[in-house]
Chains A and B, each alone.
Chain A
């Protein structure tokens, strides 16, 4: 079982991204669970979301305390929340940041985490491909690449089908989202 924890702020789409990831896993025949944990109900409040992906049925309903992967959608949370809590040393953390990877890595090391650190500039990718800041697609691609539970091409095919269904009434955004995924797969550091 792969367990993933997402950190973001209300309104940024971390919950949606977690649910999308569960959907992707489900579509390739995995058992999957995606769920949010709500704190205060307001825009900008820190929220946590979770994914479990497994080859066997998932029954556990608790939150995730020892994740294999952590995704930080909003890097300002690194200082206020213990984002690496319980994160497995052979796992990885992915941070959405335009900063140099070395700088982010140093910040994570300072928190005592010695596993792999990745960065992705989801804002740049999103603005470049969609014209607006929607970090979901780039972050999703990043976590798929890092966790490797699904082949990248299979992932892209599934996402295209998903977007075609989801954006049936706005087909013009499908190409942009697909490009965001491809760009994120390339630009993950």
Chain B
């Protein structure tokens, strides 16, 4: 009997675990950390119940889980692990090892704030902290996307033009622990889509030898880094090709980013992750009252779709660039920095404001998004560069504004901004 697509209600964690069950990877080393713990937890049930024949390895730290995943990938196995926050931070050294050795593997990341103060809730300081480790990074708005991205992960990571590790990110608690209705693909469809892993070079190849993890002196290092960069550069096309194939089995369309009501938008918001869903409701509401607003949800942050984003934003007057992680650069967040660079190169004259929101799980509501748009319009109307530089904190408690009259505050050396 042919299996059908199934509507189900799952948490984001169970959705990703289900994708992994359908993929049936070879090796899954794991160490628990909130809020990603449920992924290996569900998966270990699948192992115990014989639904997968994966080698599940409980290890003693995230440094070890990533090391074991790397070892397994080098040996020729399809491997992955899952983590959050400080767990990802502990993997930092290994993240570079995985990427520089061009080892395909996946990491199911459930985004959570980094210490300190200690906080278990969602922001992107873990994933953004690891943005320069050579990994592909794909983000999800909801449970469906987390599942869909996981199904596509290995096809991208293992592609001969790419061969780089891939991080499939979703928002801690907001999607990982929320049950939502979504659609599962039939097991066989996922199995056929992902295919068998047939590595060309691997340590356990009985017909060949291989030395991995070289020392490279100055004479080679730059060439080696440039060669590695080629994998990331190639990834854009591969991600789109895989998305096209995925659309054929799922009916769901994915790109490097999603444009929402951007056709004639004069003001746009650019953001990543679950807040995009909330912002879409705000955009609809503002559209009803005749305001020409739209949004772009970045799905692929690594490789960064710089030219494509600049083209999509070429006609807008103002852009609110939303960051959910502090860079402590004194100059805004990572999306703010990278997107304004892209806009500059494209000679885009849009008025940009970089907003810091949602740190440590701080809620972003529909009303906040509307207020941010209103503020953006007002700031853009001044056309004064001083209203564009640096970045602003959303929903901050500030001594100058005990009644919260203002939606955001400029980050600057002086204590506060007059309300």
Interface residues of A, Cβ cutoff 8 Å to B: 19, 22-23, 26, 31-38, 41, 58-63, 65
Q: Write out the residue numbers on chain B whose beta carbons fall within 8 Å of the beta carbon of A19.
A: 11, 179
Contact B9–A26 (Cβ < 8 Å): yes
From the candidates A38, A58, A63, name the one contacting B180 in the complex (CB within 8 A). Answer: A58
Q: Could you list 16 further interchain pairs (A-B, Cβ under 8 angstroms) beyond the known A32-B179, A61-B175, A61-B178? A: A19-B11, A31-B181, A35-B173, A35-B177, A35-B178, A38-B121, A38-B173, A58-B180, A59-B277, A60-B277, A61-B174, A61-B274, A62-B363, A62-B365, A62-B366, A63-B365
Contact B364–A62 (Cβ < 8 Å): yes
Contact B180–A33 (Cβ < 8 Å): yes
From the candidates B34, B142, B181, B366, name the one contacting A32 in the complex (CB within 8 A). Answer: B181
Report the minimal beta-carbon distance from B280 to chain A, rounded to whole angstroms: 5
Given contacts A38-B121, A61-B274, A62-B278, contact A33 B178 (CB under 8 A): yes
Given contacts A36-B173, A60-B366, contact A23 B179 (CB under 8 A): yes
From the candidates B174, B181, B278, B365, name the one contacting A35 in the complex (CB within 8 A). Answer: B174
- The reply on B120 being an interface residue by CB < 8 A is yes
For the complex of A and B, the 5 pairs showing the least CB-CB separation, nearest first, are A35-B178, A59-B277, A61-B274, A26-B9, A62-B365
Q: How far is the CA of A35 from the CA of B179 in the complex (A)?
A: 6
Interface residues of B, Cβ cutoff 8 Å to A: 7, 9, 11, 34, 120-121, 141-142, 171, 173-175, 177-181, 274-275, 277-278, 280-281, 363-366
Q: How far is the CA of A125 from the CA of B278 in the complex (A)?
A: 39
Report the minimal beta-carbon distance from B333 to chain A, rounded to whole angstroms: 19
Interface of A is mostly: mixed
Contact A61–B179 (Cβ < 8 Å): no
Q: Write out the residue numbers on chain A whose beta carbons fall within 8 Å of the beta carbon of B179.
A: 19, 22-23, 32-35
Contact A65–B365 (Cβ < 8 Å): yes
Max chain A Cβ within 10 angstroms of own Cβ: one of B142, B174, B177, B178: B178
Q: Write out the residue numbers on chain B whose beta carbons fall within 8 Å of the beta carbon of A41.
A: 34, 120
Contact A61–B275 (Cβ < 8 Å): yes
Can you name the residue of chain B whose Cβ is closest to the Cβ of A58?
B180
Contact A60–B178 (Cβ < 8 Å): no
Q: Write out the residue numbers on chain B whose beta carbons fall within 8 Å of the beta carbon of A22.
A: 9, 179
Report the minimal beta-carbon distance from B41 to chain A, rounded to whole angstroms: 16
Can you name the residue of chain A whose Cβ is closest to the Cβ of B175?
A61
Report the minimal beta-carbon distance from B376 to chain A, rounded to whole angstroms: 19
Q: Write out the residue numbers on chain B whose beta carbons fall within 8 Å of the beta carbon of A62.
A: 278, 363-366
Can you name the residue of chain A whose Cβ is closest to the Cβ of B281?
A60
Q: Write out the residue numbers on chain B whose beta carbons fall within 8 Å of the beta carbon of A38.
A: 120-121, 173
Q: How far is the CA of A31 from the CA of B178 in the complex (A)?
A: 13
Report the minimal beta-carbon distance from B273 to chain A, rounded to whole angstroms: 9
Q: Write out the residue numbers on chain A whose beta carbons fall within 8 Å of the beta carbon of B120.
A: 38, 41
Q: How far is the CA of A87 from the CA of B67 in the complex (A)?
A: 50
Contact B281–A59 (Cβ < 8 Å): yes
Q: How far is the CA of A37 from the CA of B361 in the complex (A)?
A: 10
Q: Write out the residue numbers on chain A whose beta carbons fall within 8 Å of the beta carbon of B34.
A: 41
Report the minimal beta-carbon distance from B267 to chain A, rounded to whole angstroms: 20
Q: How far is the CA of A26 from the CA of B363 in the complex (A)?
A: 25
Report the minimal beta-carbon distance from A33 to chain B, rounded to whole angstroms: 5
Q: How far is the CA of A109 from the CA of B11 in the complex (A)?
A: 37
